[in-house]
Structure formats: C-alpha cells, structure tokens
Amino acid sequence: MTSLIRLTQSSPEAQRALWHGLYSDLLAIPREVVEIPQRGLQIVFELRDRNAVQAPRFLKRWAGTVRAVSLALTAMPCLAIFFYGLARGWSLHPAVALSSLLGVMCLHSGVNLLNDVYDHLKLVDLLGSTGRVGPIQRGWISAHRLRRSGFGFLAAGVLLGMPALFTVPEVILPLGALGLAGLVGYSMPPLSLKYRGLGEVLLIALVGPALCAGFSMAAFHQIDHGVLLLGGAFGFLACAVVHAKNLQLIPWDSLRGSKTLASVLGFRKAKRALPIFYFLVALSLGVGVWRGYWSWSVAALPWAISPWALRVLIKIQDASGPASPLLAGLRKASSRVSLAIGALICFGIWFL
Amino acid sequence: MYRTLPREIAGHLSQAGYVLEEGLSVPEIAIALNKTVISGGKRVRPALCLLISAAMGIPLDRAKIYARAVELTHSASLTHDDVVDNAARRRNKPTLNDVESNKKAVLGGDLLLARVMVEISGTGEVEVIRDLAQAVEDLVRGEWLQLDALGVLEIEAHQLDEISRLKTGSLIRWACLVPARLLRGDATLVELCRSFGDNLGVAFQMVDDVIDYDVSSEKLFAQDLKYGLVNWVTMELLEANPDLAGPVAKILQTGSAPASGELPWSNDQLEAARERVRVRANAKLVAAHAQLDEILARTGFQESAETRQPYVKALRSAIDLLARRKK
C-alpha cells in the first residue's frame, strides 16, 4: 500500500525524508514538486512500507549505483596506456599501476555518487531535467548513506593514488591536484564549471591527456606523444557521451542560464556536432599511425562498429527536438559505442 | 462526473450549446461535424473551465463562451487525430473521415478552429485568445513528438511527461488560465493557474494510460501498444521487468497486441505497473490541490462564503474523480 504526503521543502520532516528516505517509519520517496508563492517549494512524497521495497543483492545494487558502464569508460584509457606501454617495451611498475587504476575508478565512483546525491537533494528529476531513476529514487539507499559512500570512495581514490604520488611526485602532484579540482569543480558549486561553458573542454583534458599522462607516469615512469594522442582519442569519446546527454538538457540548461556546448549551439547544430567528436577520435588515431606510434589496424579496428554507431547517429538526426523520444536511451547507447571503440583500441594496441 | 456538478453547470454541458449552427454557407460541414466528433464526449474540459471560473468568482455566463471554445478546439484536434490515426470509430460512432473522407475531415477540423477564433475574438480578451493560440501550438508540438515516439521502446519519463503536457495538457491548461486572465490576475496567479492546469492535464493522460490496460474498459485493450506507442503503464512495466523488452518490442513493431491469454506479462506485473502510474497521477493531483488552495486564497475565497463554496467543492471532487475514473 502507498500513500502520499505533501511537505514544505524547508521543514525538518521534508529534510529528514530527503536525507534519510524516511517519514515516520515509512519509506519516503519524492514524486512531485510544486512551488507555492510565499510558502516555498512543496514536495509530494510517496510513502511505502519499507518491507515492500525489494532491493537487489548487494553487488548488483552497488554496480548500478556506481554506474559500472561509466566506470569502464574511465578504466579504458588506463588499460589502453597499459597495453601501449607494454607494446613499447617500457618497464612496468605493477603495484603502482594497479593502485592508480583502482584510485581513478574510486574517484570516478565518488563523483558519480555525490552527483546523484546532489541531484536528488535539488530534486533535479522532478523539476524537468532528465535525472536518472537511481537507487535513491528506487528506495534502495538513502541520500545520507550515499553521500558517506561517495566521500568514502573519494578518500579511497586519494589513498590509492599515493603510491604514484610518492614515486613520481613532480608529475603526479600537479596532475592529481588538477584532476581532483576538476572532478570536484565539474558540476558542484561554487565552480560548477560544466554550466559555464567549460564542461566539454575540462572533460576532454581530464579524461583524455591528463588521465593518460598521469597513468603512464605512474605505471611506466615514461610518457611520449603517443600517450597524449591516445588521451585525446579517449577524451573525445567521453565528450561524445556527455554531449549526447546535454542534447536532451538544452531547454533545462537554457532556462537556468547554464552554458554547455549543446545549449550554446542550439539543438539543430548540436546534433550535427556529435559525429564530429567521433571524427576527432579517428583523427587522433590516424595521427598516431602516421607518427608510427601504432599500426594502422589500431585506427581501423574501431570502424568495425560503425554500422551500430551510424544507426545511433541517424536516429539522432531524425529527432525533432530535445524532448524527442528518438533520443530515448541516447546516453546509454553513446556510452556503449564509446566503450566498444575503447575496447577495440585496447585490443588493437595489444594484439595487432 | 455530471452527478457531482452543480445543477446549472451540468445542465449547460448536457444542452445543445456545443453544436455548430447550420446557418453557414456550407451547412453540410456543420451537419457532418455535429453527427460525428461533436456529439457525445464527457465534456471534461468545458466542465473544468466552468468549475474553475466559478470557483474563482467569475459569473458562469461570462465563462460559457470559453467552455464552448475549449470543447470545439478539442473536437478539432480529435478530427485531425482520426485522420492521422486512420481511425474508423470514436465514442462508438463512425468518425468524420470514415463517413466522408480524409480531406473533408481535415477541412472539418480547420473549420472548427476557425469558428472558435471567430467566436472568442468577439470577446476582445486578447490575452485569452493568445493563450488559446499557444495551446493549439503546444498541442501540435505534442502530436509531433508523439509521432517521433512511434516504435520507441526506451522512452523516458521526462519525454512522456513533455508529450502529455503538450498533447493532453495544453487545452486543460488553457481552461485553467482563462479565469486568471479574466480577473486580470498578476503574473503569480497566472503562473499558478498554468501550472495547476499542467498537473491536471498530465494526471489526466496518466489515468487514460491506466484505462488503456483495463480489460473491463469500454475501449479496446492496449490500444497504444498496438499503435506502436509506449505509454506510462508500458514504461513502468518495462522499468520493473527489463526482460519484457523483447516481447514488447515485437508488439510495437508488428502492431498486433496478443490476445489476453497470450500476454508476455503476468497479471501481477501489469497491475503493479498500473498502480505505479496511479501513484504518479495522484502525486500530480496532490500538487494540484495545493495550487488550488493558493489560487483560491489569492482570489479572496473564504470557506464561509456561500456563493463560491459549491463550485469549489465540486471542483475538488472533479479533481479527485480524474484519478478514480474508469473510462
């Protein structure tokens, strides 16, 4: 059985419901918001018996919570550098490499969790944005617990990055500080760089050359231009995923005065810009072939998924606006395309 | 719904105040429209328009022209819908495109819109007329987006919300805006009424989708799915049961909904999805009630006032009935 209750956002009961997911002994999930002048934002909570919610098992629950697919997108550049360094005959420092990889994934997980917490507290999915139906909305985990876990992952990420910091501090310290500042400042106040037109640039730099350079130095104590080119390719792949998401958020971002590439270009130009990111990936790989860092097969292999990628791109071109159902599942589809391309790059570098 | 309405409103809705006069240069158009799309119907939108107007203190005689306008505009959109959907029946009667032709049905819908423009332009209420034009524009945008939705399996809640708001909500939103404009309300009151209409409109669509999956409903079962559309209930069904994606995708593509004994989902799964959507609709209506409290407060309503009390009571019943209706 469910029931509904309306609470003023600023009230202690509403805050408890938002943070701990509880009202009295019942599970409280926000379902609707309404602004009443002079009384403030009213939140309509759905109240459910806690025993009625069937959360999945621990591993599956947390895999969905930390977004395993997006973590793979972070791990992919590191794996590519790993295979690249080995192919170049560089000397591997396995313990540092492993702790760095795990550290990066923990940092990314922490950011994902904290993003979910702040999106939930800001009621983003109820105010018109495309917020995801995550573990909080499903009643699996409270915002309070998720925030603690998020900071826990961030702390673990910093700790796991320490071996790399101690071995090559002159490179890791500035890169790590930049990465951490970028991660924290990406969407969180007061910087909120992603809403000031710097999101895509930051993403390309952080997930691309900065991440790859940092991992290369940590794992091999070496770096060359091939690392930076691979970084560029992965940076553009990450940017394609974010741009695909921002396509749907154009009305929402425009209303709030947030500047993303999509909102600045407008829908028509923004959907045509998406293939350009994939072209830039191909260009980065092509330059790598030309400069002799890897064989032509590394640049050619990702084209194997072009029919699939083309289907996704054609669907986007047919969409009549940001709210078009043709963009449904776009974020997932573009993540999978990027993941597949990344996996093929790794495969090509190691085996071909 | 009529049983809960004040007598004068129920009486007005059941009269012939919604037919087209035949005294036009081509009377056949009016005759055809009166026999098909205009006759019958629950008159939900005019009922809401009259109830909200009366609850906010507008005399019924002043509001009736707008109630008629919203119903005729709705009829125009249904006429065009029937052409787009190639529908042969509506409200257990043949459609205009079935009786006459697609061309005449399109023209009939255009005529209804023109008639509405002629009638309400005579009131001189420019803001009201502009709002109606905006509502029609929104309705078209909603229908266009819905065409994009054909065959899309992974449709998301915010997309369904936008389609519902534009397609179904636009005219209900206008019906709620009218009294705010007639009262020369400030921007806050106008926005409250607009948002109130939005919530009613989306809730109305959600309940429609629940009814679409009701085997005891007078409408055909799972019509949306057969037409190639994932509605609110189907979305909840897929969200809770991802393994149904394959069978549902097949239904979307082939356009043939299986017989009730061969459905890919169990009764429990379907009922759980319908209940989820009812919760969503009820949450919208809780929000709408909160907005109504504020709207009434801003228009000087007091519980002790006898003149407006019956309309306020009837309006709240009508809002609750939106959630409980079975057809």
Helix (H) or strand (E) holding A36: strand A26-36
User: Mapping DSSP to helix (H, G, I), strand (E, B) and coil, where does residue B313 land?
Assistant: helix
Q: Give residue A119's identity as a one-letter amino acid code.
A: D
Taking an 8 Å cut-off on Cβ atoms, the answer to whether B239 and A35 are in contact is no
Distance in Å, alpha carbon of A330 to nearest chain B alpha carbon: 9
CATH of the domain spanning A58-351: 1.10.600
Token couple for B256: 């043939």
pLDDT, mean of residues B213-235: 85
Q: Mean of the per-residue pLDDT values for chain B?
A: 89
Taking an 8 Å cut-off on Cβ atoms, the answer to whether A326 and B144 are in contact is no
Q: Which chain B residue's Cα is nearest to A130?
A: B158
Q: Which of A5, A36, A245, A318 to mutate to test the interface with B (most CBs of B within 10 A)?
A: A36
Per-residue pLDDT band for A15 (boundaries 50, 70, 90) equals very high
Q: Which of B252, B286, B293 to mutate to test the interface with A (most CBs of A within 10 A)?
A: B286
pLDDT, mean of residues A187-193: 69
Quick check: A17 pLDDT over 90? yes
Q: Give residue A130's identity as a one-letter amino acid code.
A: T
Q: Mean of the per-residue pLDDT values for chain A?
A: 87
Q: How far is CA B46 from CA A262, B11, B13, B173, B184, in A?
A: 41, 12, 8, 12, 21
pLDDT, mean of residues A55-72: 78
Q: H-type helices in B36-125, by residue range?
A: 44-55, 60-84, 96-99, 102-121
d(CA A223, CA A213): 7
Q: Give residue A321's identity as a one-letter amino acid code.
A: G
Taking an 8 Å cut-off on Cβ atoms, the answer to whether B291 and A36 are in contact is yes
d(CA A135, CA A252): 23
In this prediction, residue A81 carries a pLDDT of 95
Q: Which chain A residues have a beta carbon less than 8 Å from that of B154?
A: 328-329, 332
**CA nearest neighbour of B26 among B93, B107, B106:** B107
Q: Give residue A36's identity as a one-letter amino acid code.
A: I
Q: Give residue B275's identity as a one-letter amino acid code.
A: E
d(CA A193, CA A242): 14
Per-residue pLDDT band for B218 (boundaries 50, 70, 90) equals low
* Bridge partner list, A29: A46
Task: Work out the percent of chain A whose per-residue pLDDT is above 70.
Answer: 95
Residues in chain A: 352
CA B322-A123-A113 angle, to 5 degrees, is 135
Q: Which residue has the higher pLDDT, A177 or B102?
A: B102
Token couple for B86: 């190639």
Single pTM value for the model: 0.89
Task: Work out the percent of chain B whose per-residue pLDDT is above 70.
Answer: 94
- pLDDT, tens only, A72-107: 888 999 999 999 999 999 999 999 999 999 999 998
Q: Give residue A42's identity as a one-letter amino acid code.
A: Q
Quick check: A248 pLDDT over 80? yes
Tokens 């043949």, located at residue:
B94
What domains can you pick out in chain B, each with its CATH number? Answer: 2-324 (1.10.600.10)
**CA nearest neighbour of A245 among A260, A259, A264:** A260
Q: Which of B137, B140, B147, B148 to mutate to test the interface with A (most CBs of A within 10 A)?
A: B148
d(CA A101, CA A163): 11
Q: Which chain B residue's Cα is nearest to A4?
A: B283
Q: Which chain B residue's Cα is nearest to A6?
A: B286
Distance in Å, alpha carbon of B269 to nearest chain A alpha carbon: 14
Q: Residues in chain A whose beta carbon is closer than 8 A to a beta carbon of chain B? A: 2, 4, 6, 31-37, 39, 42, 44, 46, 125, 128-130, 133, 248, 318-321, 323-329, 332
d(CA A288, CA A297): 11
Task: Report whether B46 contacts B60 (CB < 8 A).
Answer: no
**CA nearest neighbour of B51 among B320, B308, B258, B239:** B308
**CA nearest neighbour of B32 among B97, B103, B123:** B97
CA max distance for chain A: 68
Taking an 8 Å cut-off on Cβ atoms, the answer to whether A37 and B294 are in contact is yes
User: Mapping DSSP to helix (H, G, I), strand (E, B) and coil, where does residue B40 land?
Assistant: coil
**CA nearest neighbour of B167 among B187, B137, B193:** B137
Cβ partners under 8 Å of residue A214, min gap 6 = A100, A164, A171, A172, A175, A176, A179
- pLDDT, tens only, A259-269: 888 998 999 99
CA A26-A32-A37 angle, to 5 degrees, is 115
Cα torsion at A93, A99, A104, A105 (round to 10°)?
130
Tokens 């469910």, located at residue:
A2
- pLDDT, tens only, B103-146: 999 999 999 999 999 999 999 999 999 999 999 999 999 999 99
Q: Which chain B residues have a beta carbon less than 8 Å from that of A37?
A: 188, 192, 294
Q: How far is CA A170 from CA A179, A181, B209, B271, in A?
A: 15, 17, 62, 62
- pLDDT, tens only, B153-165: 999 998 999 999 9
Quick check: A288 pLDDT over 60? yes
Backbone region of residue B238 per phi and psi (left: phi > 0; alpha: psi in -120 to 50; beta: other values): alpha
User: Mapping DSSP to helix (H, G, I), strand (E, B) and coil, where does residue A22 land?
Assistant: strand
CA B277-B280-B283 angle, to 5 degrees, is 150
Q: What are phi and psi of A74, to 5 degrees?
A: -80, -40
Highest-confidence range of A204-213, A246-255, A314-323, B282-291, by mean pLDDT?
B282-291
Quick check: A131 pLDDT over 60? no
Q: What are phi and psi of A28, to 5 degrees?
A: -120, 120
Backbone region of residue A221 per phi and psi (left: phi > 0; alpha: psi in -120 to 50; beta: other values): left
d(CA A229, CA B290): 57
Q: Classify residue A12 by burial, with Cβ atoms within 10 Å: 0-12, 13-18, 19+.
A: exposed
Cβ partners under 8 Å of residue A238, min gap 6 = A73, A203, A204, A207, A208, A338
Distance in Å, alpha carbon of B93 to nearest chain A alpha carbon: 32
In this prediction, residue B2 carries a pLDDT of 57
Strand arrangement of the beta sheet that strand A22-23 belongs to: A2-8, A40-48, A26-36, A22-23
Per-residue pLDDT band for A136 (boundaries 50, 70, 90) equals confident
Locate the domains of chain A by residue range.
2-52, 58-351
Quick check: A129 pLDDT over 70? no
Distance in Å, alpha carbon of B234 to nearest chain A alpha carbon: 14
Taking an 8 Å cut-off on Cβ atoms, the answer to whether B287 and A34 are in contact is yes
Q: How many CB pairs under 8 A join A and B?
A: 83
- Cis peptide bond upstream of A190, omega within 30: yes
Q: Which ipTM did the prediction report?
A: 0.88
In this prediction, residue B162 carries a pLDDT of 93
Residues in chain B: 327
Quick check: A337 pLDDT over 80? yes
Taking an 8 Å cut-off on Cβ atoms, the answer to whether B158 and A34 are in contact is no
Q: Which of B137, B145, B150, B156 to mutate to test the interface with A (most CBs of A within 10 A)?
A: B156
Q: Tell me which DSSP letter residue A260 carries.
A: -
Token couple for B28: 């056949």
Q: Which chain B residues have a beta carbon less than 8 Å from that of A33?
A: 287
- Give the burial string for A115-140 (b: 16+ CB within 10 Å, else e): bbbbbbbebbbbebbbbbebbbbbbb
